Amino acid sequence: MRELAERGYLWCIALAFVAFVLVTIGLDYAVLVTAPWVLLALAGIAAVLLIVEARGVALAANRFKWYAIGWVVAAVVAMGLWALAQKDVQAAWPALKSFRKMWNVFEPFALFAAALFVLIAIGILAIGTLDKGMHQPGRLERTFAVNMSAKVAAVPMAFTAIGVFVISTGWTIYHSFTNSKLLPKSQFIGLDQYERLWSTNRWLVSIENLAIYGICMLIFSLVIGFVLAALMDQKIRFESVFRTIFLYPFALSFIVTGLVWQWLLTPEFGVQKIVRDLGFENFTFDPLFNADWVIYGILFAALWQGTGFVMVLMLAGLRGIDQEIWKAARVDGIPMWKTYIFIVIPMMRPVFVTALVIIAAGIIKVYDLVVAQTSGGPGIASEVPAKYVYDLMFGGQNLGQGFAASTMMLVSVLVVLIPWAYLEFGGRKRG
């Protein structure tokens, strides 16, 4: 019975996934093919629910992992074959053209049903993973009964997450392979958009700037934020005043910060003019007007605004460390710098990870500071990927190129995120 339940559940996941993908991307006539299978998937899931509840079946999570990978590959292959066969199918069965009007009627219902079945399947898999090894009748009922109001409230959030993230991301990736200009088109052109993207000097400059800005922002914000937090943790006088002063820039918008620093770094009335008025006639400080240093001028403004927030996170982490640890380190004669490096910082690893994720998110989407300070100039010296995507999609009316650039940004995030998540969570489970 357990084997039967597992196989039935896998079929439900596969059918619901294929139906969801086909209907979401809007392939012609896909709903006519998938609708019967969606209904069959509903019956299969209902049967599996009954079996799990009656027999206390524990779903094998490890087997599902590899089966799910196979089903995803099969679904993608099936989707590609279906897309390639559209013209052949229409030529072979002209009668199918009469069902075109039915598409607009059935699509919303099929999409809703497929999404609902996927959510149910994911919920069963999660319960099976939590309850693996448990063969107690009625376990599923008790699991659902715990905190039922929260589970019900999470249903709209799940639909929103699927609609906003999954569907929109898939739609963007799909149209990055098309010749979309002012409006989205379905004319498939392969990897032409990506070839044009990586042959564009403006895109290469934006990637280089993002790498320089990102590395410097991560290092300096973490180091400066931690040093400020360590100094504030010494129970100094007027601590609240200093904390407010350091955190205040974070309350400003990026546009305001960019305009303020544009004024400060302008040679005619900024830092350069003030220093020269003091008698240093040969002093020069104009990073926003120097193509080789403009990205560092933007970095100054970003550090001024974001370092205070990192300081507050680090200070909260330091205040959470037991005072007995500090006393033991002093009794053992451990120098203060060694206490921080070898004892305190390892204990604050979750705080550092949180700060790292928040800073990295801000780095990827940096746009406001660049527009406010330089608008990408001088020339294209301060271009960043987010500005490139915006200009191509809304200014250049080239949706295909903008979609390709945004897809590459997503891929770059995943290349960093997936190995980190595997080491962070996979290694912890193995340990």
- Across 299-330, b (16+ Cβ under 10 Å) vs e yields bbbbbbbbbbbbbbbbbebbeeeeeeebeebe
Q: What are the structure tokens assigned to 279, written together?
A: 């008698």
Is residue 57's pLDDT more than 80?
A: no
Sign of CA dihedral 79, 85, 86, 90: negative
Q: Of all residues in the chain, what percent carry a pLDDT higher than 90? A: 26
Helices (H), 26-167: 30-55, 61-84, 86-92, 100-130, 139-145, 148-161
Task: Please compute, for residue 93, the number of CA atoms within 13 A of its CA located in the half-sphere on the CB side.
Answer: 9
* pLDDT (tens digit per residue) in 72-95: 444 444 444 444 444 444 454 455
d(CA 48, CA 7): 10
Say if residue 65's pLDDT is above 70. Answer: no
* The pair of three-digit structure tokens given for residue 28, joined into one six-digit string: 């012609």
pLDDT at 262 over 80: yes
CATH 1.10.3720.10 fits 198-430, yes or no: yes
Mean pLDDT of 407-414: 85
C-alpha dist (Å) from residue 218 to 1, 130, 148, 302, 366: 53, 36, 41, 11, 13
150, 111, 326: which is closest to 234 by C-alpha? 326
Quote the pLDDT of residue 386. 92
Rounded to whole angstroms, the Cα distance separating 172 from 170 reads 5
Which pLDDT does position 305 carry in this prediction?
A: 93
Residue extents of the structural domains in the chain: 2-175, 198-430
Q: How far, CA to CA in Å, does 298 sit from each of 126, 164, 209, 287? A: 45, 31, 10, 9
In terms of residues, how long is the chain? Answer: 431
The pLDDT of residue 373 is: 93
The yes-or-no verdict on residue 6 having pLDDT over 60 is no
- The tens digit of pLDDT for each residue in 168-223 reads 788 888 888 888 887 777 778 888 889 999 999 999 999 999 999 999 999 999 99
